[in-house]
Amino acid sequence: MPLNPAITEIDQLKAHPALAKLLAWNYGAIEGAKFDRDEMTIYIERSAIREACILLRDDRDCPFNFLADVTCVDWYPKQPRFEIVYHLLSISRKERVRLKVRLGDSPEVDSVTSVWPAANYFEREVYDLFGVRFNGHPYLRRLLMPEDWEGYPLRKDYPVEGYR
Amino acid sequence: MILNMGPHHPSTHGVLRLILEIDGETIVRIMPDIGYLHTGIEKTCEAKFYQQVVPLTDRIDYLCPLTNNLCYVLAVEKLLGLEIPPKAQWMRVMLNELTRINSHLVWLGTHALDIGAMSVFLYCFREREDILRLFEMVSGQRMMTSYFRIGGLALEPPLGFFERVREFANRFPAKVDEYENLLTGNPIWGMRTKGVARITAEDAVALGASGPTLRGSGVDFDLRRDMPYSSYEKFKFKVPVSQDGDVFARYICRVREMRESIAIVQQALDGMPQGRIKADAPKVILPDREKMKTEMEALIYHFKIITEGFAVPEGEVYQAVESPRGEMGYYVVSDGTAKPYRVHMRAACLANLQLLPAMCEGRLLADVVAAIGSIDIVLGEIDR
C-alpha cells in the first residue's frame, strides 16, 4: 500500500462522524484535523477536552465508549511543547479516533477520569514521566518511578542515562 | 488493619505489591503499587534505530514476545507503507496463535496453582515445553524470539517445521480436554471461582478492560475479528464470550480460546501460501547473504542499513493487536529520521489491573488471589 499524502483540510474531512459531531457542537474548540495512514486525528482546544470527550462518549450513532490510551509526546525545544494524545475506540462501530491537546506555556490540562475511570492510571503515568498535571484527577501521584524521584524521564531534555 | 501483599508474594505473578486495608478477612480498600519492574523501555527506544527496537519489544511481555514483535513491526510497516507478502503474514498469524496458547498455558498453570490445584501446572508446562521447542526451531530462541522483522520474517522456517507444528496441533485438543477434566467440572474449583470477583460489562468498558477479561463480562469484541490485521480476516474462528463476569467466566473464555487458536493454526498450515517471506524494499530489509557476495548494491545497502538505519517518513501510527491479555497497542511517532521520535506501548495489563479494586472490595482476602490470577497480569508489560 503506497502512502497517500495526509489530508489536513477540515472541509474535506467533515464526513467523519466524530469530527462532524464536534464541529456541530463547538466550531471554535477544534484547532485542526488530520487524516493520515487511515487514522483520524482531531486537535482540540485545551479547555474543551473534557466536554469533547463526554460528547463523543455519549454520541448515539457512534459512541466512543472505550478509552484505549492516554499518552504524551514532548516536542522540545519546539513550542507548544507537549501534545497529550487520547486514543478512543467505539466498540459497537469499530472505529478509532485520536484526540490531541497541545500544551504550550504551562503543562496542565483537565483530567478525563470523570469521563472514563480508565484514564486514572494512564494520566498518572503521563504525570510521572512527563510532568504534565491533570486538574481534577483523584490521585495524581507517581505511578512507575519512586515517589522521591527528581525530574521527568520521558522529557526530551532528560538524558537517556539519567542524571545520576 | 493495613496489610502488604507482595512484591515477593508468589501469587502476585512477579513484583506486584498490593496494599490491603482489611477488616477481619474482608477487604475494605485495595491499592496496587506498581513500578518495581520499570526499565524505561520507551525511553530506550528513542535512542535506537527502528530495527534495533524489535528485541526490546520481546522483553515487555515476556510470555508473548511474538505478539509484541508483531504489533511493533505492523506499526512501523504502516508508517513506511510496506506491503508484506502473504506467506509472511500467514506465518505471523500461525506463530501468534501458538504464542497465545503458550501464554494461556502459563496462565492456567499458575492460576490453578494459586487456587490450590497443583497438578494442572505440570500438565500445562508439559505442552508449553513443546511450543517453546517449536519457537526454538524457527527462531533459535525459546523465549526472546525477535522473529518478526520490519518488512517480513527473520529467516525461512526450517525443514520439517510445519510437520512438527502439525503434529502438535493434532495432539493438542485432547490435552485441553485433560485440563478441563481436572478443572471445569471440579466442585472445589467451582466454589473458588464461580461468583467470585464479579465485574459488570459497563464497569469493564469504563475501566478500560480488554481481551478475555472484557469478554468474560459479556462484551463481544475481539480485535482479530472486528478490526483484523495481518490477514486475520481470512481465518474462521469463534470468539468465546461468557456473560457471568466472574473468575470462572474468564477461565472458560481463555480455555475455549485455546481451542480456537489451535483451529487457526490448523487453517494456517492447510492454506500456507508459497513465496517470499520479505517485502520488496531493499532500503529497509537486509539483503540475502548470498547476494552480498556477488552484488555491489546489496553490500552497500547492508552497510547503510546497519550503520545508519533507514529513514521513516514523518507521521504517527497507533496499531493495536489482540494479545493474550487484551488490546496491546503501539503508538509510534516518526520525525523523518532513522530513530523513532516516540514509542509508546498501550499495555493491556495496566488497564486490566485497574479492575482489581472494583472486583475485590467487600470480598474475602482469599478471593484476591483468585482475582489476580483471573486478570492474567504480566508485570513486565505493566511497568515497561
Rounded to 5 degrees, what are φ and ψ at B32? Answer: -70, 140
CB contact under 8 A, A68 and B44: no
A153/B383 CB distance under 8 A: no
Mutation for A interface: B19, B38, B84, B202, most A CBs within 10 A: B38
Mean per-residue pLDDT, B123-145: 90
- Name every chain B residue with its beta carbon within 8 A of the beta carbon of A118: 206-208, 351, 354
Cβ of A87 and B329 within 8 Å?
A: yes
B338, B50 contact by CB (below 8 A): yes
Q: Which residues of A touch B42 (CB under 8 A)?
A: 129, 154
- Position B145 in a domain: yes
- Could you say which of A41, A73, A120 has the minimum Cβ distance to residue B354? A120
Min CA distance, A2 vs chain B (Å)?
5
Put simply, the answer to whether B315 touches A143 (Cβ < 8 Å) is no
Burial B297-325 (b: 16+ CB within 10 A, else e): ebeebbeebeeebbbbeebbbbbbbbbbb
Do the chains contact at A91 and B219, CB–CB below 8 Å? yes
Q: Does the residue B106 lie in any domain?
A: yes
Element (H, E) at B262: helix B247-270
Nearest CA distance, B189 vs chain A (angstrom) = 31
- Helices A17-25 + A49-57 axis angle, to 10: 130
B160-184 mean pLDDT: 91
**Contact assignment for B354 to A39 by CB distance below 8 Å:** no
* Residue A155 grid coordinates: 522529557
Cα B346 to Cα A90: distance, rounded to the nearest angstrom: 17
Question: What does each C-alpha distance from B231 to A39, B79, B89, B155 come to in angstroms?
Answer: 19, 18, 7, 20
Model-level pTM? 0.91
Q: What is the mean pLDDT of chain B?
A: 89
* Chain B nearest CA to A23, separation (Å): 24
Q: How far is CA B280 from the centre of its chain?
A: 28
**Cβ neighbours of A125 in B, within 8 Å:** 350
Contact B163, B138 (CB under 8 A): no
| C-alpha closest to that of B253 among B133, B73, B376, B153 | B376
> Residue B141 falls within a domain, yes or no?
yes
CATH number of the domain residue B89 falls in: 1.10.645.10
Structure confidence at residue A2 (pLDDT): 65
Domain ranges of chain A: 10-117
Gap between the Cα atoms of B314 and B332, Å rounded? 11
Averaged pLDDT, B198-205: 88
Asked if A67's CB is within 8 angstroms of B43's CB, the reply is no
Q: Is the pLDDT of residue B82 over 90?
A: no
**Residues contacting residue B66 through CB under 8 Å, at least 6 positions apart:** B92, B95, B96, B98, B99, B135, B145, B147, B148
Its domain, for residue B177, covers: 37-278+315-383
Pairwise CA distance, residues B89 & B76, whole Å: 15
Q: Does residue B149 have a pLDDT over 70?
A: yes
Measured CB to CB, residues of chain A less than 8 Å from chain B are 1-3, 6, 36-37, 39, 41, 65-69, 71, 73-74, 85, 87, 91, 94, 96, 98, 116-118, 120-122, 125, 129, 142-146, 153-154, 158, 160
Position B167 in a domain? yes
Q: Which residues on neighbouring strands pair with residue A69, listed in sequence order?
A: A87
d(CA A120, nearest CA chain B) in Å:
8
Q: What does the DSSP assignment read for B107-146? A: HHHHHHHHHT-HHHHHHHHHHHHHHHHHHHHHHS-SS---
Yes or no, beta carbons of B353 and A121 under 8 Å apart: yes
Tell me, yes or no, whether B46 lies in a domain: yes
In three-state secondary structure terms, B377 is: coil
Closest alpha carbon to A140 in A163, A162, A110: A110
Say yes or no for a CB contact (<8 Å) between B35 and A117.
Answer: no
Q: Given an 8 Å threshold on Cβ–Cβ distance, is B354 in contact with A65? A: no
Burial status of residue B239 (CB atoms within 10 A of its CB: 0-12, 13-18, 19 or more): middle
Q: Average of pLDDT values for B238-254?
A: 90
Give the C-alpha separation, B262 to B250, whole Å.
Answer: 19
CB spacing of B44 vs A120 below 8 angstroms: no
Element holding A20 (H helix, E strand): helix A17-25
Res B353 pLDDT > 70: yes
- Taking CA–CA distances from A154, the nearest residue in chain B reads B43
Fold classification of A10-117 is Beta Polymerase; domain 2 (3.30.460)
Question: Residue A164 has what pLDDT?
Answer: 61
Q: How far off is chain A from B375, nearest CA to CA, in Å? A: 15
Contacts of B108 (CB under 8 A, 6+ apart): B120, B124, B179, B251, B254, B255
- Whether the CB-CB separation of A103 and A46 falls below 8 Å is answered with yes
| Rounded Cα–Cα distance for residues A112 and A118 (Å) | 9
Inspect the interface and report whether the beta carbons of B46 and A6 lie closer than 8 Å: no
In a domain, B345, yes or no: yes
Closest by Cβ to A118, choosing from B43, B341, B351: B351
Residues 6+ apart with CB under 8 A from B358: B199, B203, B207
Find out whether B85 and B77 touch, Cβ atoms under 8 Å.
no
Picking from A24-38, B78-92, B102-116, B240-254, which range would have the lowest pLDDT averaged per residue? A24-38
Quick one: CA dihedral A19, A114, A49, A71, positive or negative? negative
Gyration radius of chain B's alpha carbons: 21
Torsion of CA B51, B97, B379, A126, to 10 degrees: 60
∠ CA A41-A44-A46 to the nearest 5 degrees?
A: 140
Give the pLDDT score at A1. Answer: 56
pLDDT in tens, chain A (164 residues): 567 777 777 777 777 877 778 777 777 778 888 888 888 899 988 888 888 888 888 888 778 889 999 999 998 888 888 999 999 998 888 888 999 999 887 888 999 999 899 899 999 999 999 989 999 888 888 888 888 888 888 888 888 877 76
**Which DSSP letter does residue B364 get?**
B
Give the pLDDT of residue A106.
83
R_g of chain A computed on alpha carbons = 17
Nearest CA of chain A to the CA of B149: how many Å?
A: 18
Q: Which residues of A touch B226 (CB under 8 A)?
A: 94
C-alpha cell at A157: 531534555
Q: How far apart are CA B153 and CA B158, in angstroms?
A: 13
- The answer, yes or no, to whether residue B213 has pLDDT greater than 60, is yes
What residues of chain A lie within 8 A of the CB of B317, using their CB?
37, 39
Report if residue B201 sits inside a domain.
yes
Q: What is the pLDDT of residues B266-292, one digit of tens each?
A: 999 998 888 888 888 888 888 888 888
